[in-house]
Chains A and B, each alone.
Chain A
Amino acid sequence: MARYIVQRLLYAIPTLIMISLVSFAIIELPPGDYLSSYIAKLEQQGSRVSQSELEALQQRYGLNQPVYVRYWKWISNFVRGDMGMSFEWNRPVKDLVMERIGLTALISLLSTLFIWAVALPIGIYSATHQYSLSDYLFTFIGFLGVGIPDFLLALVILWWAWSTFGVNLGGLYGPEFIGEPWTWPKVMEVVKRIWVPMVIIGTAGTAGMIRTMRANLLDELPQPYVESARASGLSETETVLKYPVRIALSPFVSTVGWMLPGLISGTTIVAIVLSLPTTGPLLLKALLSQDMYLAASFIMLLSILTVIGTLVSDILLVLVDPRIRFDDVQAG
């Protein structure tokens, strides 16, 4: 077990290195370097940059040095928690990112829980009532859920709530709470509103998960052990819940891994439509204004979040599913 965990951790290292290379490429790719955009920005605002300041900045980002030196400077600072400055906000990137990454993680986590809470009972129901009217209905809803992109769903729901009830569902709290510290009323406000992104982001995942759960359970239901449980006098509910469902559950744990990149993707774009105070809108803003240190830090952190989530789900899977033996686990 320990060996497996260590192995998975080791496999994550090349992934993390590749992520850092891609993020660095995003900083480097736009024409012109960071400093010239920074200076242009400052001059636009009417302030001038002194020669000494310029040199200090050049020194800090290693702008006169070859690419690999710049990369090394950037990544070693990043690991130490110094992510550079956002010239758009004139604040350290770290502060901006940390303010928002927590809510992103929270919404992703809530969406996962929502997917589980909804997909599990519906999947079981669909499988035990195969080809019934409700099974067809859920299949149809499932297809729609997969087919409708979440940001369009967000857009339509936003418009619907606005035009029928005159309610703006965007944002996580009303304008009076912006910039306020996290007090009880603010937390309650967030709790009241967070279900909107949770449901929207969770829809596609729910649809897919219902299909998986249904298919897995359908594979298990005709097995002899189910028959023998039934024969020994267990009620139908007990028979289904106690044995086949437990085995069919393993996708719930294992799919967190592949669900997570999709969830983070969905969170990013849905957050932009709903203007949530998460990473999405800020990332878009940073990209549109070529504030590349901020953007790259976001992309890097979101990817790291995904890798960690996948890692946790892989390890959980081994813990939950007794059929997986450690000697069989090789190469992930």
Chain B
Amino acid sequence: MSLLSRPAGNKKVPIPVPEEKLKEGTPKEQVFVASQWQLMWWRFRKHHLAILGTSLIAVFYLLAIFCEFLSPYDPNAFERRYTFVPPQAIHFFHEGVWEGPFIYGLERARDPETYLITYQPDTEVRYPVEFFVQGDSYKMWGLLESSRHLFGLSSDVNARGLRIYLLGTDRLGRDMFSRVLYGARISLSIGLIGVFLSFVIGIFMGGISGYFGGMPDLIIQRIIEFLRSIPTIPLWMGLSAALPRDWSSLQRYFAIVLLLSLIGWTGLARVVRGRFLAVREEDYVTAALLQNASEARIILRHMLPSFFSYIIASLTLAIPGMILGETSLSFLGLGLRPPIISWGVLLQEAQNLQTVALAPWLLIPAIFVVIAILSFNFMGDGLRDAADPYKR
């Protein structure tokens, strides 16, 4: 009888373990020697929604980073003949025969009663969807000049003025798919930069408040209380409306980010303060104090690492608020303005009920906003659960 096959009876026979396995150690031993980050990863991995959220966020940021290449057209290029084209489906089979990815042609007609232009797929003509096609030229990240796009129609079809509109077009005949991708770049980066700024303010204010206590704490707590007790949207609206009108779009972008984080840092400061208060009494801080370590060293070297994971978790949970703030403001026309493309700016086109009824695909950016917000929430939830891997 081979040693590896299990005996039929109840008698326990030791199963030999290969050499390499022994070196790695059993899972339990792994837990004992694993680093804090390793433990956090293991715990985070168990949170399925968090993994899903994180993957979606990764996809979104990839879309945002490579939007010039991934989008088939220049987001500002308009086609006067193709306004309010509904989303086109990519087909693979024509009359049951495999054709590879292709789209049907567009038939343009005018409704005899309402005089509205309607589009019908014209199944007579088929245009294959090709990859790595030449199209509108762009400058990737403002550096690399190219005109190659991931997908599109072949250049001779392009030359005839035919386009592929995966998410339809807006009132000027601009490709919504390209615009959503470019919008992702602005909307998602506002979240990151805004959170980074709030992080700087929050950690500074929360740190002072929690570490020193006393009068500074009282003042900062009052400020936080004040900021939390006023409704944010009206305040954001008021402040962004007060921005000078003649500012360039870049100035406006940074001003909006600054406004969002000037009001949004309070949650983070609270977390930092609470952690500082908890950690301040720990033995290792007393030990560092006794060894005459400087205050900066105690804060940065001893205290901060112990609650860094909490900060990352609350940072992640703060990003959706930023994205939402920008989207709301731009939607109202007080935030970013065209020619900048953000999801909020795109949704501004959908403000009018009649327009939305005519072209419901203008609401598609909203789906992206919701997915991004949910994903960040899930990821933040998982991070928060994993933040203290020693807690049972």
Q: Which residues of A contact B (CB under 8 A)?
A: 14-15, 18-19, 22-23, 25-26, 29-31, 143-144, 146-149, 151-152, 155-156, 158-159, 162-163, 168, 170, 258, 260-262, 264-266, 268-269, 272-273, 283-284, 287-288, 290, 292, 295-296, 298-299, 302-303, 306-307, 310, 331-332
Contact = CB atoms under 8 A, between A and B. Distances in A.
Given A19-B230, A146-B377, A303-B230, A155 B238 contact: no
Contact of A14 (B222, B235, B366): B222
B232 A261 contact: yes
B334 A287 contact: yes
A287 to B, nearest CB: 4
Given A147-B373, A261-B228, A306-B231, A296 B353 contact: no
B369 A302 contact: no
Given A18-B226, A31-B244, A158 B353 contact: yes
B99 interface: no
Given A29-B242, A151-B328, A151-B331, A163 B377 contact: no
Nearest to B358: A163
Contacts of A147: 320, 370, 373-374, 377
A148 B373 CA distance: 8
A127 B230 CA distance: 32
A159 B242 contact: no
B157 interface: no
B327 interface: yes
A162 B232 contact: no
6 contacts: A22-B235, A30-B241, A260-B231, A299-B234, A303-B235, A306-B230
A152 B370 contact: yes
Contacts of B234: 264-265, 268, 283, 298-299, 302-303
A290 B232 contact: no
B324 interface: yes
Nearest to B378: A143
Nearest to B329: A269
Given A146-B377, A159-B360, A261 B231 contact: yes
A255 B343 CA distance: 31
A26 B242 contact: yes
Contacts of A299: 234-235, 237-238
Contacts of A290: 241
A146 B374 CA distance: 8
A26 B239 contact: yes
A137 B40 CA distance: 28
Contacts of B350: 155
B353 A162 contact: yes
B366 A152 contact: yes
Nearest to A30: B242
A283 B233 CA distance: 11
Given A19-B230, A306-B231, A159 B357 contact: yes
A210 B233 CA distance: 24
Interface string B215-256: 000100110011011111111011101101000000000000
Nearest to B355: A159
Nearest to B376: A147
B226 A269 contact: no
B332 A155 contact: no
A15 B327 contact: no
* 6 shortest interchain CB distances as A-B pairs: A29-B242, A287-B241, A265-B233, A147-B374, A264-B231, A26-B238
Contact of B225 (A262, A284, A302, A332): A332
A156 B363 contact: yes
Given A22-B238, A287-B237, A303-B229, 11 more contacts: A146-B377, A147-B377, A151-B328, A156-B366, A162-B357, A264-B233, A268-B233, A283-B237, A288-B334, A296-B238, A303-B234
B259 to A, nearest CB: 12
A31 B242 CA distance: 8
B62 to A, nearest CB: 21
A284 B347 CA distance: 17
Contacts of B218: 331
Nearest to A275: B353
Given A31-B244, A151-B328, A151-B331, A163 B357 contact: yes
Interface centre among A15, A146, A258, A307 (most CB of B within 10 A): A15
